[in-house]
Structure 1
Amino acid sequence: MRVRRFTAAAIALVAMGGAAGCAGAAGGGSGAGGGTVQMVLWPGPEGDAMQKVVDAYNAGQGKKDGVTVKMTLLSRTDTFAKEATEMAAKSSSVDVYFTASYIVGQHAPSLDPIAGVDSSAYFPVAVDGLTYEGKLYGLPLDVSNHFLLYRKDLIDQLMSDAAWKAEYGKVSQEVVGKSLTPKPPADWNWDDFVAAAAFFTKKYNSGSPTTYGTALQAKNLLYNVMIWDDVLWSQGGSWLDSSGKPTLNSAAGKAAMSVYSTIYTKGLTSPDSAQAEFPETQAAMQSGNAAFALQWSAGYADLNSAEKSPKTAGKIGIAPVPGEQHKTHVHALAVGLNKYSKNKANAMKWLTYLATPAAMTTYAQAGGIPAMPSVLQAQQGTNPVFSSITDSIGTYGFAEPTLKNSFQAYSDLADALSGAWVGREPADAALAKADDALNRLSG
């Protein structure tokens, strides 16, 4: 399957190259008032939403600009790999590449900085994540962050039921070593998170309505590092210290590792969590198997949908990531201008349009999560989670350091840390390996 998807991607880009060549022959390829702009994105909700924006541009502003945008959707698995091939070849087949905060440092040598676009309309953390060596290389599209998504009905009962409160005190004493009183999820620290996970686990509370308290995303996967980073940053940690030295093997790193390993080894999450990511976490919540989880903001809509999640619809609450600092990772999906495009003037007309609130409003209404707080606030009727996203990112958002090899760094950190997340190797050794990986990649 992977080979077949890659082949389809290659064919698509070859076709794009032919189209670009035709545009150049017609006089538009040089950006002299006309032509076709070729753009790559990946499929899924982002690609579907972007098609609505492309159609609106082509039918309206694009006619005034003398520009037609053609978008090719590659595989979610192979998009970055295929783009890397095109970039290495200094190809001009693509005018606008798909990029993201976590890979823009790798893409930057093949992109032109985004110039002449007012970036003040975007979340600052989204702009920071797409800035490499002081220059902005990606125009933000979707923004992603994390929430604590929880069953409001269960937490409401915990906060009001005297018998449940008493049992909570006993369970918390057993699991975290101190008798705790239930708090609203917005006020949780990590002890509260672990205690609540234990209370809603049948192993510790036979009267729990759920089998497990939480669903941990502990698969060896780079995107799962982003969620674990919330725990790290909320403990005051980071990848690098102020001098650029790796600092994972620290008190903050060990505390963050302890949260995961405690949850997994004490059985507060399914043993299958060792192979879990976004879909498995969604399924655990949808089935009623878990009471709460750290989850990507994009998961809220389906969990609250009567059609997709009848057991949880209307019952899902949103709270910040636990911890004294309530930190959430933020990254932005984006598009960048190919340094080797022969159609840059026209491509910039399209990118300038994409940077408008009008374009991002169309994007939001079609299912995107644009990185413009003003648009999210205005479109709360489209998606009720937009207001929470705006507040959370504005207050608690952070972006990991943008390295030349950030994408590889996430993968290497997943390799180093995932075994310790589930208690299969010592935290100190895993964190030391993680620091070694960062040292190699950040130099």
Structure 2
Amino acid sequence: MGGTSRLVRAVSAVVLAAALGALAACGSSGSGSQGSGTGTVKMVLWPGPEGDAMAKVVSAYNAGQGKTDKIHIDMTLLSRSDTFSKEATLMATKSSEFDVYFTASYLVAQHAPYLQPLQGLDASRYFPSAVQSLQVEGKQYALPLDISNNFLYYRTDLINKLRTDPTWQASYARISQQLVGQSLTPKDPADWTWNDFIATAAFFTKKENPQSPTTYGTALQAKNLLFNTMIWDDVLWSFGGGWLDSSGKPALDSTAAHQAMQVYNTIYTKALTSPDSSQAEFPETQAAMTSGNAAMAIQWSAGYADLNNPTKSPTTAGKVGVAPVPGDKHQTHVHALAVAINNYGKNRSAAQKWISYLETPQAMTLYAKSGGIPAQPGVLSSLTSVNPVYTFIARDLSADGFSEPALPKTYDIYSALAQDLSGAWVGQQSIDAALKKADSDLGTLAAQKSGNK
């Protein structure tokens, strides 16, 4: 059944791409005219919380400032799973159908040949990592919207007892000696190294500690999925590693990369996480926490609201602590969803005015109140009552955030690394072999260029 469904999707994608290509070819106008600066601006976004939040901003603009600007925003929500592939078809044919494209940090370098650099963005309003993640060769190609990063979420009731109960502390010292070779004392999760994380995961795993109130200590996102590569990159960067060295050469066959791989491999092979973690991503991690099956997890910032919701998560609501990702050097992957101007759009002058409006705290405040997570720390800090996780995002991202290199094939690199490394994460392949393959694939993809204007 899976093979048949994939074939159907593949055939459908080809048919759709052909149809879009024919449509785009008819509408392509090149990059000559900027348009009148007024009229309709056609924008692509995807459905979900971002599309819902943007709909409120579009409605407010069309009813207010848009009338003054003599601009009307027409937003189209494409399929959440196919938005970027549809845009790729439109871009390849230099379509003028849309004036504003939806993009992201992990795609902006691939999209850049088809985008117009932005004018006058006030970088001081944003997290530096969000702005930098949307730059290609020193030019700003997109305006940050939602910011995504990772936190350590943990059960405060369990960690607080561990830090105050002498019996639990004695067991913790014994278990940590067995698992990491050190007799550790429980400490504040904000100060954890990876040894602290592994030891705590072992303590809250029934196999290691029959008195544990949870079956497993943590939930590991180890599925072969590009977004799981982003989480593993937190570990890599925390050990001082990265994709490339200072000279721009691949650096995945490094001491830091081996250390990062060993963290995942230890957690999985020592059964400190469910065996199903080999197929886990965001939803499964949420479920492990809300069910009380796991005591802690590295998870996306978007997960906090539901974990702390009494209706959706009665077991964890009011008991979720938020700490930086562990490590000697706390680091969190940051990427931004974003909007950018189509270099072949019919009304680019008006699109620039709309983008400039989206940059304002007024627009981003409404966006945040409507469910978005804007990349402006000032806006987040003023709206912590709307979503308490804003407090932690504003606290941590400026100091701990990083973005992977914006390369023409960044999206493909994430996917290749997930393919190459996920087997070794769960002990099905040697770490050495996995990293050598990943290093080779990274080198090949990093050298590739995208299309030209």
Question: Is residue 2:283 matched to residue 1:271?
Answer: no
Q: Which letter maps to 2:397?
A: I
Q: Compared with structure 1, are the counterparts of its residues 30 and 178 closer, same or farther at alpha carbon in structure 2 (3 Å cutoff)?
A: closer
- Pairwise CA distance, 1:230: 0.3
- Pairwise CA distance, 1:170: 1.2
Residues in 2 aligned to 1:336 and 1:8: alpha-carbon distance in whole angstroms: 27
Residues in 2 aligned to 1:48 and 1:260: alpha-carbon distance in whole angstroms: 36
**SS of 1:298's equivalent?**
helix
Residues in 2 aligned to 1:167 and 1:420: alpha-carbon distance in whole angstroms: 30
Contact persistence 1:5–1:75 (CA under 8 A): no
Moved more, 239-248 or 3-12: 3-12
- Pairwise CA distance, 1:120: 2.0
- Pairwise CA distance, 1:13: 7.2
Q: Which letter maps to 2:48?
A: G
- Pairwise CA distance, 1:136: 0.7
Residues in 2 aligned to 1:265 and 1:107: alpha-carbon distance in whole angstroms: 40
Moved more, 112-121 or 83-92: 112-121
Q: Paired residues, what number? A: 436
Q: Which letter maps to 1:267?
A: A
Q: Which letter maps to 1:225?
A: T
Question: Is residue 2:396 matched to residue 1:392?
Answer: yes
Contact persistence 2:261–2:425 (CA under 8 A): yes
Q: 1:25-424 maps to which residues of 2 (within 5 A)? A: 31-424=35-428
Q: Compared with structure 1, are the counterparts of its residues 36 and 442 closer, same or farther at alpha carbon in structure 2 (3 Å cutoff)?
A: same
Where does the alignment leave 5 or more consecutive residues of structure 1 unmatched?
A: none
Normalising by structure 1, we get a TM-score of 0.95
Contact persistence 1:105–1:403 (CA under 8 A): yes
Q: Which letter maps to 2:175?
A: V
Q: Which letter maps to 1:226?
A: M
Residues in 1 aligned to 2:254 and 2:91: alpha-carbon distance in whole angstroms: 38
Residues in 2 aligned to 1:381 and 1:405: alpha-carbon distance in whole angstroms: 39
- Pairwise CA distance, 1:365: 0.3
Q: What CA RMSD, in Å, does the superposition of the two structures yield over aligned residues?
A: 2.2
Q: Compared with structure 1, are the counterparts of its residues 7 and 299 closer, same or farther at alpha carbon in structure 2 (3 Å cutoff)?
A: farther
Q: Compared with structure 1, are the counterparts of its residues 98 and 389 closer, same or farther at alpha carbon in structure 2 (3 Å cutoff)?
A: same
Residues in 2 aligned to 1:12 and 1:378: alpha-carbon distance in whole angstroms: 46
- Pairwise CA distance, 1:116: 2.3
Moved more, 114-123 or 388-397: 114-123
**SS of 1:299's equivalent?**
helix
Where does the alignment leave 5 or more consecutive residues of structure 2 unmatched?
A: 448-453
Q: What CA deviation, in whole Å up to 9, does each residue of 1:144-196 have, x standing for no partner?
A: 11000000000001011111001111111111122111111111100000000
Residues in 1 aligned to 2:351 and 2:323: alpha-carbon distance in whole angstroms: 40
**SS of 1:143's equivalent?**
strand
Q: Which letter maps to 1:36?
A: T
Contact persistence 1:257–1:421 (CA under 8 A): yes
Residues in 2 aligned to 1:128 and 1:289: alpha-carbon distance in whole angstroms: 38
Residues in 2 aligned to 1:154 and 1:364: alpha-carbon distance in whole angstroms: 32
Q: Compared with structure 1, are the counterparts of its residues 352 and 323 closer, same or farther at alpha carbon in structure 2 (3 Å cutoff)?
A: same
Residues in 2 aligned to 1:41 and 1:116: alpha-carbon distance in whole angstroms: 23
**SS of 2:228's equivalent?**
helix
Q: Compared with structure 1, are the counterparts of its residues 409 and 427 closer, same or farther at alpha carbon in structure 2 (3 Å cutoff)?
A: same
Q: Which letter maps to 1:232?
A: L
Contact persistence 1:239–1:400 (CA under 8 A): yes
- Pairwise CA distance, 1:6: 5.7
Residues in 1 aligned to 2:431 and 2:10: alpha-carbon distance in whole angstroms: 37
**SS of 1:382's equivalent?**
coil
Contact persistence 1:12–1:72 (CA under 8 A): no
Q: Which letter maps to 2:434?
A: A
Q: Compared with structure 1, are the counterparts of its residues 5 and 298 closer, same or farther at alpha carbon in structure 2 (3 Å cutoff)?
A: farther
Q: Which letter maps to 1:93?
A: E
Q: What CA deviation, in whole Å up to 9, does each residue of 1:29-78 have, x standing for no partner?
A: 96325321111111111111110111011010111111111111112211
Moved over 6 A (4+): 7-14
Residues in 2 aligned to 1:7 and 1:241: alpha-carbon distance in whole angstroms: 38
Q: What CA deviation, in whole Å up to 9, does each residue of 1:312-343 have, x standing for no partner?
A: 10000000000011100001000010010011
Q: Which letter maps to 1:360?
A: M
Contact persistence 1:13–1:93 (CA under 8 A): no
Residues in 1 aligned to 2:97 and 2:142: alpha-carbon distance in whole angstroms: 19
Residues in 2 aligned to 1:372 and 1:53: alpha-carbon distance in whole angstroms: 16
**Equivalent residue, structure 1, for 2:451:** none
Q: Which letter maps to 2:197?
A: F
Q: Which letter maps to 1:106?
A: Q
Residues in 2 aligned to 1:195 and 1:277: alpha-carbon distance in whole angstroms: 23
**SS of 1:226's equivalent?**
helix
Contact persistence 1:169–1:181 (CA under 8 A): yes
Query: Percent of counterpart pairs with the same letter?
Result: 64
**Equivalent residue, structure 2, for 1:425:** 429
- Pairwise CA distance, 1:360: 0.3
Normalising by structure 2, we get a TM-score of 0.92
Contact persistence 1:131–1:137 (CA under 8 A): yes
Residues in 2 aligned to 1:370 and 1:7: alpha-carbon distance in whole angstroms: 35
